[in-house]
Amino acid sequence: MGEHFKVKIADCDHESIDIERSILRDISPDIPWLRCKTEDDVIAQCSDAQALLIQYVPMTDRVFENLPNLRVLVRYGVGVDTVDLEAAARRKIVVSNVPDYGTEEVSDHALALILSLSRKIQEANAFIHRGTWDFRTITPVRRLQTLTLGVIGLGRIGSALARKAHGIGIKIVAYDPYRDKTTIPEYVRMIPLDGLLNASDVVSIHCPLNDETRNLLDEHRLGLMKTDAFLINTARGSIVNEVALEKALSQGRIAGAALDVFSKEPVLRDHPLLRFPNFICTPHMAWYSEESKLELKRKAAEEARRVLMGETPKYQVNRF
């Protein structure tokens, strides 16, 4: 009989954990599905865990200190801004994410938002619902092939969006100080961030949230954008300063914006950004398709299994 491990799911808003249990059953026959929300919840309910799968719950230095048996933490999703990576590394705890489960979905969603804003689909639809059938209500609309798309963050998702947008004739510029310059496609021109904001007709954000990128697009940088430019964010909410964005929209300093992510979620009905007709909001769903949902669960469980079985992790984000 093989060795058994204590695996727990601290929080997860999925419909079931059947996939995780099927992948881990032989090494962890009983995987509890918990509803942790706070540090205290994790400490109280997961102190004996050797592997932990999480979605939203905060994993701080204090939490790690009280989980003495923990060997691996896997987050459902890409972002790890709720995890103290240094605290985990000091304790030799592997922290992994699932960075490639929703690449096509998020880049597709970003492109859909770009098309909807630039073709003014939402505004035209609203006019028709109010009884106005007249394309002149939404002029001007520019030909897509005359536009320049600025991609902030040229990782998996940013690169996928650049490829798709290039495929329909949109010119691509990008900013990513960490990208290997030898692997950049020939149709992408790398430029500094301020230059990208000046040059782009559409700006799409695809960088991680960390101390360097928090409020990256503040009032000053939003002020560098063209007055007829659009802003898209499918990355993390706090990369864009929402107060500054509201000010830019109210003063007509940019032409519109679309966000799939906010600094605080869920978004309340009285959020000030929701009053603008040239603002599109979706409920943090860019990652979602039926296929990506299942892939996320499978890959998270497989990563936990790899570490527990002494194999090299595939998606480790901290180093020690």
pLDDT digit string, tens, across residues 261-318: 999 999 999 999 999 999 999 999 999 999 999 999 999 999 999 999 999 999 999 9
What is the maximal distance between C-alpha atoms in the chain? 73
Quick: pLDDT tens for 198-251.
999 999 999 999 999 999 999 999 999 999 999 999 999 999 999 999 999 999
**pLDDT single digits (tens) 168-181:** 999 999 999 999 99
- The beta strand positions in the chain, using DSSP E, are 7-9, 51-54, 72-75, 94-96, 148-152, 171-175, 188-190, 202-205, 230-233, 256-259, 279-281
Rounded CA separation 65/94 (Å): 14
Q: Is the predicted pLDDT of residue 21 greater than 90, yes or no?
A: yes
User: CA 173 to CA 151: how far, in whole Å?
Assistant: 6
| Residue 63 clears pLDDT 70, i.e. is over it | yes
Question: If you average pLDDT over residues 141-161, what whole number do you get?
Answer: 98
Q: Which CATH architecture has domain 103-281?
A: 3-Layer(aba) Sandwich (3.40)
Instruction: For residues 71-80, give the mean pLDDT.
Output: 96
Residue 103: pLDDT band by 50, 70, 90 thresholds?
very high
pLDDT for the residue 198: 98
Inform me whether the pLDDT recorded for 1 exceeds 70: no
Tokens of 50: 């050797």
| Res 14 pLDDT > 80 | yes
The domains of the chain are located at 7-101+290-308, 103-281
Question: Residue 17: its pLDDT value, please?
Answer: 97
With beta carbons less than 8 A apart as the criterion, state whether 258 and 231 touch. yes
pLDDT digits 0-9 by tens, 30-57:
999 999 999 999 999 999 999 999 999 9
**Integer angstrom CA distances of residue 107 from 129, 147, 164, 293:** 29, 18, 8, 16
Per-residue pLDDT band at 2 (split at 50, 70, 90): confident
What is the set of active-site residues?
236, 265, 284
User: What pLDDT score does 4 carry?
Assistant: 95
Domain 7-101+290-308 = CATH 3.30.200.100: no
> Stretch 137-166: mean pLDDT, rounded?
97
